[in-house]
A and B are shown apart, each in its own frame.
Chain A
Amino acid sequence: MSIVFFLVAGWLFLAGLYGIVTSRNLVHLVVCLSIVQASTYLTLLGIGYRTHGTVAVLVSIPPGAPFVDPIVASLTLTDVVVSATVTALLLALAVQIHKRTGSVDPDDIVDMRG
Chain B
Amino acid sequence: MDVVAPVAMVVPLTTALVLLVLVPLSRRRLVDVVAFAAALATVALTAVLLVRSGDHLVLHWFAGWLPRRGFPVGIDFAVDRIGAGLALLAALLTTAALATSWRYFDDVTPLYSVLVLVFLGAMVAFSYTGDLFNLFVFFELMSVPAYALAGYKVEEEGALQGALNFAVTNSVGAFCTLTGIAFLYGRTGTLSLAAIGRSLAGHHPDGLVIVAFVLVTTGFLVKAAVVPFHFWLADAHAVAPTPICVLFSGVMVGLGVYGVTRVYWTVFSDTITPPHLRGLLVAVGVVTAVIGAVMCLGQHHLKRLLAFSTISHTGIAIAGIGLLDRTSLAGAGIYVLGHGLVKASLFVVTAILVTRLGAFDERRLHGRGRDMRWTAAVWFIGCLGLAGLPPFATSLGKGLIDEGLDHHGWPWLATVLAGSAAATAASAFRAGGHVFLGWGRVEDDQPASAEGEEEQPEVAKDRPTAPVMFAVAALLLMGGLALGLAPRLGHHADVAAGHFVNRPAMAAAVLDGAPLPEPPPMPAAPTGSAERAGVATAAVALLAGGFALSPRRPTAEQLGWAGRIGRAAIEGLRRLHSGHIGDLLAFLTAGVAAFGVLALMAGR
Contact = CB atoms under 8 A, between A and B. Distances in A.
Number of contact residues on B: which range applies?
35 or more
A37 B175 contact: yes
B178 A79 contact: yes
Interface of B is mostly: helix
A101 B144 contact: no
B151 A23 contact: no
Interface in B144-164: 144, 147-148, 151, 154-158, 160-164
A110 B154 contact: no
A78 B131 CA distance: 15
B125 to A, nearest CB: 14
A37 to B, nearest CB: 6
B589 A17 contact: yes
A97 B160 contact: yes
Interface in A75-90: 75, 78-79, 82, 85-86, 89-90
A93 B581 contact: no
Given A40-B178, A86-B167, A106-B582, A114 B157 contact: no
Nearest to B592: A17
Contacts of A96: 151, 154, 160
B168 A90 contact: yes
A110 B453 CA distance: 10
B339 to A, nearest CB: 23
A43 B160 contact: no
A42 to B, nearest CB: 10
A74 B573 CA distance: 44
B574 interface: yes
B154 A109 contact: no
B162 A112 contact: yes
B512 interface: no
Contacts of A100: 155-157, 160
B295 interface: yes
B103 interface: no
Contacts, number: 138
B55 interface: no
Contacts of B449: 113
Contact of B581 (A47, A71, A106): A106
Interface in A11-32: 13, 17, 20-23, 26, 29
Contacts of B585: 17, 20-21
Nearest to B579: A112
Contacts of B450: 113-114
A94 B581 CA distance: 13
B574 A113 contact: yes
A72 interface: yes
A93 B163 contact: yes
B452 A113 contact: yes
Contacts of B295: 114
Number of contact residues on A: which range applies?
35 or more
Contact of B452 (A26, A36, A94, A112): A112
B171 A86 contact: yes
B580 interface: yes
B317 interface: no
Interface string B504-519: 0000000000000000
Interface stretch (B179-187, B531-539, B548-556): B179-187
A44 interface: yes
Contacts of B158: 111-112
B164 A26 contact: yes
B32 interface: no
Contacts of B148: 89
Contacts of A23: 581-582
B182 A40 contact: yes
A96 B168 CA distance: 16
A97 to B, nearest CB: 5
A29 B581 contact: yes
A40 B164 contact: no
B238 A112 contact: yes
A31 B154 CA distance: 22
Contacts of B579: 110-113
B29 interface: no
Contacts of A89: 144, 147-148, 167
Task: Kindly name the residue among A9, A23, A100 whose own CB sees the greatest number of chain B CB atoms within 10 A.
Answer: A100
Task: Kindly name the residue among A71, A107, A114 whose own CB sees the greatest number of chain B CB atoms within 10 A.
Answer: A114
Contact of B577 (A26, A106, A114): A114
B330 to A, nearest CB: 34
B428 to A, nearest CB: 18
B421 to A, nearest CB: 21
Interface string B201-242: 000000000000000000000000000000000110010000
A111 B163 CA distance: 12
A23 B315 CA distance: 31
A6 B519 CA distance: 43
B172 A36 contact: yes
B10 interface: no
Given A86-B147, A89-B147, A109-B160, 8 more contacts: A29-B168, A93-B151, A96-B154, A101-B157, A106-B581, A107-B580, A113-B451, A114-B575
19 contacts: A9-B179, A13-B175, A17-B585, A29-B581, A40-B182, A44-B182, A75-B133, A75-B182, A86-B144, A86-B167, A90-B168, A97-B164, A100-B156, A100-B160, A106-B582, A109-B157, A112-B165, A113-B577, A114-B574
Interface of B: 133, 137, 140, 144, 147-148, 151, 154-158, 160-165, 167-168, 171-172, 174-175, 178-179, 182-183, 185-186, 191, 234-235, 238, 295, 298-299, 449-453, 573-575, 577-582, 585-586, 589
Interface of A: 9, 13, 17, 20-23, 26, 29, 33, 36-37, 39-40, 43-44, 47, 71-72, 75, 78-79, 82, 85-86, 89-90, 93-94, 96-97, 100-101, 106-107, 109-114
The 3 A-B pairs at the shortest CB distance, nearest first, are namely: A112-B579, A114-B574, A113-B452
